[in-house]
Amino acid sequence: MPEGPEVRRFADQLHSVLAHQPIAQLTARTQQAKRWLAAHEEALSDRTIQRVSTHGKNLLGWIEGEYYFHAHLMMWGRWLTFTGVPPEEVDRRERARIVTPTGGAILLSAPIFQLGQGNPYEQIETLRLLGCDILPQPGESFDVAQFQQRLFAPEQVQRSLGAALLEQSIVAGIGNYLRAEILFLCRLDPWKQVGDLTPSEFEQLCQMIPQIAQRAYETAGVTVLEGDRVRMQQDASLVYRLGSEFGSHHYVFRRTNLPCLRCATPIRQQKQQVNPDTKDEKTRIIYFCPVCQNTSIPLKTPRTKSRSTVKSSACFSSSCSN
């Protein structure tokens, strides 16, 4: 699933082809947008798209006349952009198409694309509830005060850190790879309760969240430092397959059974309940180093399979993909 940095990169692409251009055509296949377009025929025609921005994993297009479009990619969505004439063929996964005289953007597979007029934060509940962005807008900084207030709210203090970081109303933009990487770099146990964080651990979390998000944004999803990436590209014992660009991007995420870059202990993966306080049984896989992160949970027996078996069963299995 695209996380904050990936959505921001899509927004940059959209901004570069759409901003300051009039809308020549806007079509959509999502229910809300189809209804809205039917009720507001021609409302968007020739209106200028002012800018495209993000908040966490949400993408917003701001249109002249206080109109907007909002999209969330969920698991499989993505944007394509083009310059010049739009492609004639319509992909069956197409959900929305925005065309200007000079180019445009096509949304594929995303379940959420909506249109409106007014303040989207007043009209769309998921936006209204969002916490501070892991990628602050240019000129702004990570909102530590709001993050602190929402993280330590009474209803959150008994939650695990691994679950709390995925909660978009606490902080917006973190998904599965970022939470694993942030917790590893902070040496924090994903099962530690929010209320047990020390002031210095909280401070480190506040520094690491925007820092890793910014790094992932600038590098298209790479969370390791360049030196560590080179190490993984040169040492066959550190990756599933030497030479694979994919396997050298993260410290713990999808590195199950490979040696920790800090202490050489095999990285582990385990299911973690996202909402232990409710009846919600939803789990996500968390990746961690049991030594560096001093994990408190009982570990399952490690696999003792050969490297080639590990590659197919632990790294690329469907259970490993969330």
Q: Which residues bind Zn ion (CB under 5 A)?
A: 260, 262-263, 265, 289, 291-292
Nearer to Zn ion (CB atom), residue 99 or residue 267: 267
Task: Yes or no: say if 22 and 100 are a contact pair by the CB < 8 Å rule.
Answer: yes
Find the distance separating the first CA and the last CA of the chain, reported in whole Å.
8
3-state class (DSSP) for residue 194:
helix
Q: How far is the CB of 228 from Zn ion (least distance, A)?
A: 13
Whether residue 223 contacts residue 215, with contact meaning beta carbons closer than 8 Å, is answered with yes
Q: Is 71 or 258 the residue whose CB approaches Zn ion more closely?
A: 258
CB atoms inside a 10 Å sphere around CB 151: 23
Please state, in angstroms and rounded to a whole number, the distance separating the CA atoms of residues 292 and 187: 6
d(C-alpha 72, C-alpha 112), whole Å:
5
Q: Compute the CA torsion angle 237, 239, 244, 247 (nearest 10 deg).
A: -160
Nearer to Zn ion, 54 or 223 (CB): 223
Shortest distance, CB of residue 238 to Zn ion, whole angstroms? 13
CB of 14 to Zn ion, least distance (A): 39
Give 46 or 235: the residue with its C-beta nearer to Zn ion.
235
What is the CA angle 278-279-281, rounded to 5? 110
Nearest approach in angstroms of CB 273 to Zn ion is 24
Nearer residue to Zn ion within complex by CB, 153 or 264:
264
Count CB-CB contacts under 10 A for residue 187.
14
